[in-house]
Amino acid sequence: MDYTPHTEEEIREMLRRVGAESLEDLFAHLPKEVLNPPIDLPEPLPEWKVLEELRRLAAQNLPAHKAFLGGGVRSHHVPPVVQALAARGEFLTAYTPYQPEVSQGVLQATFEYQTMIAELTGLEVANASMYDGATALAEGVLLALRETGRMGVLVSQGVHPEYRAVLRAYLEAVGAKLLTLPLEGGRTPVPEVGEEVGAVVVQNPNFLGALEDLGPFAEAAHGAGALLVAVADPLSLGVLRPPGAYGADIAVGDGQSLGLPMGFGGPHFGFLATKKAFVRQLPGRLVSETVDVEGRRGFLLTLQAREQYIRRAKAKSNITTNAQLTALMGAMYLAALGPEGLREVALKGVEMAHKLHALLLEVPGVRPFTPRPFFNEFALALPKDPEAVREALAERGFHGATPVPREYGEGLALFAATELHEEEDLLAFREALREVLA
């Protein structure tokens, strides 16, 4: 069915206003070869023939073993209950809950998500989610700059390089100055924080997988009047001290490890939590609890300091939506596992990662790089080009060896292990890597 919102008379009036004779004239400035290119499509097929062709194409995929890819996106078990609940119509088809009287279910689920993120990070308030870890970091740093009134940012090289690229773009737009703190021995040295610095940013575990002691960073930041922004893997918080416990003012990260598929890099969700004192600077949405005129518990959107509601100059963020469905999947995952289940998943990943690390170091030419202790990712130095190694492993049905940017060193690749791996998986991967490097 065609839907044309404009009448012929309206179209003629529009063309007259802009001085064009026809709709084609509006595109006359484009090169001829892109205006109406020939499209070589096969003849139409019946549905059953299309399905046969799709099966034929799918059969070309290589059989794959369990993934050992690192870099912040890993292969974790997604409980069926998460997929089943997320597919319910009230979540899957829900839109922005502008009208609380007809959106109580989605609002309560989001409130529960916020509560879980706040408890997980050890901070007092969390928003309804961000797009991903990178945008959550950028928004968290902007929050710190607004709160402190300063325009300097110190960021560890141990923060994911893609996150730092997004942060750099945000800070250039507002005229803030970004200084990167180089790693020493795989970890971040505690910096001297100047009076122009509004935010200090460190990641734990860092991009190379190493654990960072962030307590001294909080002391250094606070001593100079700056705020500490901690980038965290939420799964690691099942066993590591939460950011709030060591003095972080803002915690951000990506929620992929909370029951979301790898999905070729997305969609996932970002989380942002902070202290109650900074709630007026919080970007995005916040669901709050209230009571109606009859005293019954209810939920609503509040403190919506977004540009679609207020003057652009006073908006806290120009992101006017969030990753609602995937964030709720993260909450469903946390509710399904509970604190003890989350701890068990995290510890199994740590155990398998350290076993994998030891096994891969048995392969000739492989050298350690990430210092111990690490969480469930680590970097190794390989004797061959990491990209070529990754491709050769894929041809053998193994996904592993995520190439590390050259800013960290030559020939480095990340590897990860999770609760999905067993010892036979690790041994098979070691032999595949041995074959590739030979």
Tokens of 386: 């990491």
Residues 281 and 428 in one domain: no
Number of C-beta neighbours around residue 145 at 10 A: 21
pLDDT tens track for 168-199: 999 999 999 999 999 999 999 999 999 999 99
CA-nearest of 401, 399, 359, 360 to 384 is 401
Last residue of a domain, one of 299, 333, 367: 333
Residues 315 and 255 in one domain: yes
Tokens of 48: 């059953």
- Does residue 37 have a cis peptide bond before it, meaning omega lies within 30 degrees of 0? no
Average pLDDT over residues 258-276: 93
Average pLDDT over residues 293-306: 83
Q: Total structural domains in the chain? A: 2
Tokens of 413: 């690749």
| 421 touches 66 (CB < 8 A) | yes
Residues 166 and 251 in one domain: yes
Q: What's the pLDDT score for residue 372?
A: 92
How far apart CA 214 and CA 246 sit, in angstroms, is: 7
Greater confidence (342 vs 285) lies with 342
Residue 2 — pLDDT band, cuts 50, 70, 90? low
Residues 389 and 307 in one domain: no
Torsion angles phi and psi, residue 242, rounded to 5: -70, 155
Average pLDDT over residues 141-152: 96
Residues 424 and 281 in one domain: no
Last residue of a domain, one of 333, 356, 372: 333
pLDDT surpassing 60 at residue 219:
yes
How far apart CA 260 and CA 73 sit, in angstroms, is: 10
Mean pLDDT computed over every residue of the chain: 92
User: What is the percent of the chain where pLDDT is above 90?
Assistant: 78
Average pLDDT over residues 290-296: 91
How far apart CA 85 and CA 108 sit, in angstroms, is: 15
Residue 243 belongs to domain spanning: 80-333
Residues 347 and 299 in one domain: no
Residue 159 resides in a domain: yes
CA-nearest of 259, 341, 287 to 109 is 287
CA-nearest of 134, 126, 188 to 160 is 134
Report the CATH number that the domain containing residue 259 is assigned in CATH. 3.40.640.10
| pTM recorded for the entire structure | 0.85
Residues 321 and 375 in one domain: no
Residues 298 and 412 in one domain: no
pLDDT surpassing 60 at residue 307:
no
Residues 328 and 353 in one domain: no
Residue for token pair 């709030």? 244
pLDDT surpassing 90 at residue 327:
yes
Q: What's the pLDDT score for residue 432?
A: 96
Residue 98 — pLDDT band, cuts 50, 70, 90? confident
Residue 38 resides in a domain: no
Residue 228 resides in a domain: yes
Residue 42 resides in a domain: no
pLDDT surpassing 80 at residue 314:
no
Residue 33 resides in a domain: no
| 395 touches 324 (CB < 8 A) | no
Residue 1 — pLDDT band, cuts 50, 70, 90? very low
Q: What's the pLDDT score for residue 322?
A: 78
Last residue of a domain, one of 333, 354, 377: 333
pLDDT tens track for 364-403: 999 999 999 999 999 999 999 999 999 999 999 899 999 9
